Structure 1
Amino acid sequence: MSFNLLKGKRGIIFGALNDASIAWKVAERAVEEGAQIVLTNTAVACRMGTIDELAKKTNATVIPADATSVEDLTNLFEKAQEAMGGKIDFVLHSCAMSVNMRKKRTYDDLDYSFLNKTLDISAISFHKMLQVAKKLDALSEGASVLALTYVASHRTFFGYNDMADAKSLLESIARSFGYIYGREKHVRINTISQSPTFTTAGSGIKGFDGLYDFSDRMSPLGNASADECADYCVVMFSDLTRKVTMQTLFHDGGFSSMGMSLRGMTQYNKSFIDDNRDENGKIIYG
């Protein structure tokens, strides 16, 4: 169902790779709500993914750009305004990658050159994007900018590695830039802390299945899906949230406020029983 929440608005969506991407779902929902969009990803991702399929479906222009390159970002914002005929009303930053995680380097044995890449791609690119947009005056008055984050920026999660540091930096950039851009142009900058979601990137995290199940058991509303995240992004892009800025917005079914749920405790207690059975399934006491 469409409510025309983004009718007449222009947006840029970073990070759509395939139909498992949250950015892909956001692009679809934004267009359903009346928006005109530009899709962007690295040139390699554009070739390897199926972004052309999404562009055709949404009548979007594809402008390849490396989000860590100021030159590419400058070209992107200039060309996007030309393609859509005006300033940009909303932007989604959905860019994240850890070489250390891909190489299975643990947090106490990081390769620092890999760490620098993690921070540049997953967080500093957000600052570069905002700085380029501001210098070009590419965002309209009251525009809305979102980046996707995760609760590991606030709490320690085994295996999330240096991405936790990147997400912490990402959220700090949203606050610091949010103050400046909000004061000068009423531009809103927020991050959405999403539940574990079966995307191409998320599924590459070691032990992701267990993390997903644990989060789902702990959350009173269950995990938020990619489609539900897209709905939330659309609301944040709309004029209904004109005074929301510099926030980390938890979209996780209540997980971030939980200590222990009944479902989680039941599963935890069950593990003790399972650990104390012999090969025939009989409980061993003592």
Structure 2
Amino acid sequence: MSHNLLKGKRGIVFGALNEMSIAWKVAEKAVEQGATITLSNTPMAMRMGETNALADKLKAEVIPADATIVEDLEQVFARSQEVLGGKIDFVLHSIGMSPNVRKGRDYDDLDYKFLDKTLDISAVSFHKMMQVAKKMDAIAEGGSVLALTHIAAQRTFAGYNDMADAKSLLESIGRSFGYVYGRDKGVRVNTISQSPTMTTAGAGIGGMGGFLEFAEKMSPLGNANAEECADYCIVMFSDLTRKVTMQNLFHDGGFSNMGLTIAVMDEFNANK
């Protein structure tokens, strides 16, 4: 259902890979709510995924870019302003990857070159994105920048590995850059801490199926799915949240405030 929450707004969505992606759902809903957008992903991700199909559906231009390379990001913001006809109103950072996780390295046996890549791709790219945009004055006053994160930034979850460190850094960048961007340009910066979600990236984390089931039983409202997360992102891009910045916003059905639920106790008692 469209309420035209983003009518007349221009946006960039980074990281839409396929229909499992939260970024994919965000792109669809942004256009549904009246926005015009561009899409960006790495050339390799575009070959592996279905970004071009999404672009055709939404009549959106795809701008290939490696978000860890400043020159690529400059091209994304320059081309997006050219295509969309003005400054950008919202940006989604939905980018994350850990070579250590992909290679099955344990947290106490990390490859540090892989760790450098994890941090650069999953967190430092967020800083690069905003630094480029700010220097280019590419985001309009009142604009909204979002990045997707996870509660593993605050709590230890077996199997999340060095992605937890990346998410901690991502959230810190959101706060620190949020202060500077808000002070100088009136742009708001927030992170959304989403429920465990079976995206392509999420599926690569060991024990994800069990964690999904556990989180469902721990969350009073149940796990938030990708489409529901996209709805939240749309609200955060809209003018309804124009004074919300530097926040890590939990979108997890209440999981982050729970200690123990009856459903979890019943399961443990049944297994005794």
Please tell me the TM-score bracket, short chain as reference.
over 0.9
Match of 1:279 in 2: none
Which amino acid in 2 is paired with 1:49? G
Match of 2:144 in 1: 144
Describe the superposition over 1:138-193 as per-residue Cα deviations: whole angstroms up to 9, x where unpaired: 00001000000000000000110000000000000000000000011110100000
Distance of 1:64 and 1:81 partners within structure 2: 15
Which amino acid in 2 is paired with 1:115? L
Structure 1 consecutive aligned stretches of length 4 or more whose deviation exceeds 4 Å: none
Distance of 1:268 and 1:186 partners within structure 2: 50
Which amino acid in 2 is paired with 1:188? R
3-state DSSP of counterpart to 2:168: helix
Distance of 1:102 and 1:265 partners within structure 2: 33
Distance of 2:161 and 2:48 partners within structure 1: 26
Kindly state the Cα deviation for residue 57 of structure 1 after the two structures are TM-superposed: 1.1
Which amino acid in 1 is paired with 2:61? T
Instruction: Write the mapping of 1:95-114 to structure 2, written as runs, cut at 5 A.
Output: 95-114=95-114
Match of 2:93 in 1: 93
Distance of 2:9 and 2:239 partners within structure 1: 10
Kindly state the Cα deviation for residue 46 of structure 1 after the two structures are TM-superposed: 1.1
Match of 2:213 in 1: 213
Match of 2:9 in 1: 9
Match of 2:196 in 1: 196
Match of 1:115 in 2: 115
Describe the superposition over 1:43-65 as per-residue Cα deviations: whole angstroms up to 9, x where unpaired: 11112211111111111110000
Match of 1:282 in 2: none
Match of 1:277 in 2: none
Match of 1:160 in 2: 160
3-state DSSP of counterpart to 1:68: coil
Distance of 1:40 and 1:268 partners within structure 2: 45
Describe the superposition over 1:17-67 as per-residue Cα deviations: whole angstroms up to 9, x where unpaired: 001100000000000000000000001111221111111111111000000
3-state DSSP of counterpart to 2:271: helix
3-state DSSP of counterpart to 1:203: helix
Q: Normalising by structure 1, what TM-score?
A: 0.94
Distance of 1:175 and 1:271 partners within structure 2: 43
Distance of 2:13 and 2:7 partners within structure 1: 16
Match of 1:177 in 2: 177
Which amino acid in 1 is paired with 2:118? T
Q: Normalising by structure 2, what TM-score?
A: 0.99
Match of 1:225 in 2: 225
3-state DSSP of counterpart to 2:11: strand
Distance of 1:195 and 1:93 partners within structure 2: 17
Which amino acid in 2 is paired with 1:17? L
Distance of 2:207 and 2:115 partners within structure 1: 21
Q: Which structure 1 segments of 5+ residues have no match?
A: 273-286
Which amino acid in 1 is paired with 2:29? R
Q: Which structure 2 segments of 5+ residues have no match?
A: none
Kindly state the Cα deviation for residue 213 of structure 1 after the two structures are TM-superposed: 0.4
Instruction: Write the mapping of 1:60-71 to structure 2, written as runs, cut at 5 A.
Output: 60-71=60-71
Kindly state the Cα deviation for residue 271 of structure 1 after the two structures are TM-superposed: 2.4
Q: Which moved more, 1:47-56 or 1:144-153?
A: 47-56
Distance of 1:45 and 1:155 partners within structure 2: 30
Distance of 2:69 and 2:209 partners within structure 1: 34
Match of 1:247 in 2: 247
Identity, % of aligned positions: 71
Distance of 1:52 and 1:174 partners within structure 2: 29
RMSD value, Cα: 0.5
Q: Does 1:74 align with 2:58?
A: no
Distance of 2:267 and 2:222 partners within structure 1: 15
Which amino acid in 2 is paired with 1:87? K
Kindly state the Cα deviation for residue 267 of structure 1 after the two structures are TM-superposed: 1.2
The structure having more radius of gyration, on CA atoms, is 1
3-state DSSP of counterpart to 1:97: coil
Distance of 1:110 and 1:51 partners within structure 2: 32
Distance of 2:47 and 2:117 partners within structure 1: 21
3-state DSSP of counterpart to 1:265: helix
Which amino acid in 1 is paired with 2:66? D
Match of 1:275 in 2: none
Distance of 1:27 and 1:239 partners within structure 2: 18
